[in-house]
């Protein structure tokens, strides 16, 4: 009985010694590369956009709207993605959709219903949709938005509608800015065209459902991952709130 107890004690001592040895090796690694240590230990190895703790988080976003007039059109779909986390809402517009917008997006309005490819989709009131979007952004470390042609279209439309619901100040306190990948891609590459659909075909060899905001953001994230733009370029093409 005593021999058995001594064997158990020796075994426990050996285990503790091994654990101490492992921790002695890992502690300096964790101090030098804390972000890498936490990333590996968390098991999140499938995240598409890797960032360090001291870096801002890119959140890719896109809008579908009732038309192209940035001073008057309304939002009918708001989508965003960062890594594996997705945000997507449909909104019943407060104004009529142009024929061109319906043709491009496959979204139409039938009385109190919004239809996508002739099938009703659940909608969320504007204030709730925008508040939920801000809450989604708050879950990221130092988020900044990334959009294609966002300087001329998505950003002014989004900020105008946020202001209409007195949410712009809260939004500006959460995001550090918005990167426009259209001029960024023009500076990085010499290409015949710079539409997102062409860029996806060129760099990802894929075709997809363009002008569906949820698909647009997914593809834009993949493009950004492949391009890996420098911080200098990102800063150069960032719009601030």
Over the stretch 147-157, which tens digit does the pLDDT of each residue have? 999 999 999 99
Over the stretch 102-152, which tens digit does the pLDDT of each residue have? 999 999 999 999 999 999 999 999 999 999 999 999 999 999 999 999 999
The answer to whether the Cα torsion of 41, 47, 52, 53 is positive or negative is negative
Q: Give the model's confidence band at 207: pLDDT under 50 very low, under 70 low, under 90 confident, else very high.
A: confident
Long-range contacts formed by 180-183: CB under 8 A, 24+ apart: 180/147, 180/148, 180/149, 180/150, 180/151, 180/152, 180/155, 180/237, 180/239, 181/146, 181/147, 181/148, 181/150, 181/220, 181/223, 181/224, 181/237, 182/148, 182/149, 182/150, 182/151, 183/151, 183/237
Percent over 70 (pLDDT), the chain: 78
pLDDT reported for residue 68: 97
Q: Does residue 205 have a pLDDT over 80? A: yes
Q: pTM to 2 decimals? A: 0.77
Q: Which residues contact 119 (CB under 8 A, 6 or more apart)?
A: none
Q: Does residue 23 have a pLDDT over 80? A: no
pLDDT reported for residue 1: 45
Give the residue from 22, 100, 64 showing the smallest Cα distance to 209.
64
Residue 29 and residue 51: Cα distance in Å, rounded?
Answer: 18
Rounded average pLDDT over 60-80:
98
pLDDT reported for residue 54: 53
Average model confidence (pLDDT) across the chain: 84
CB atoms within 10 A of CB 95: 13
CB-neighbour burial class of residue 90 (10 A; exposed 0-12, middle 13-18, buried 19+):
buried
């Amino acid at each position: 009985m005593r021999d058995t107890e001594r064997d158990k004690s020796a075994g426990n001592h050996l285990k503790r010694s091994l654990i101490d040895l492992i921790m002695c090796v890992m502690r300096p690694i964790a101090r030098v590369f804390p972000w890498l240590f936490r990333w590996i230990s968390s098991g999140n190895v499938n995240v598409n956009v890797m960032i360090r703790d001291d870096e801002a988080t890119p959140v890719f976003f896109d809008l579908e709207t009732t038309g192209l007039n940035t001073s008057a059109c309304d939002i009918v779909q708001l989508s965003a993605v960062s890594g594996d986390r997705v945000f997507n809402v449909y909104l019943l517009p407060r104004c009529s959709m142009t024929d061109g917008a319906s043709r491009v997006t496959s979204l139409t309005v039938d009385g109190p219903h919004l239809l996508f490819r002739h099938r009703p989709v659940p909608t969320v009131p504007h204030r709730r949709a925008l508040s939920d979007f801000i809450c989604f952004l708050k879950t990221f470390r130092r988020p900044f938005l990334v959009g294609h042609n966002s300087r001329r279209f998505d950003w002014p439309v989004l900020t105008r509608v946020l202001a209409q619901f007195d949410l712009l100040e809260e939004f500006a306190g959460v995001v550090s800015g918005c990167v426009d990948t259209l001029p960024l891609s023009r500076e990085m590459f010499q290409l015949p065209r710079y539409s997102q659909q062409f860029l996806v075909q060129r760099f990802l060899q894929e075709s997809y459902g363009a002008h569906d905001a949820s698909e647009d953001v997914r593809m834009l994230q993949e493009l950004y991952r492949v391009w890996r733009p420098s911080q200098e370029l990102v800063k150069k093409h960032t719009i601030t709130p």
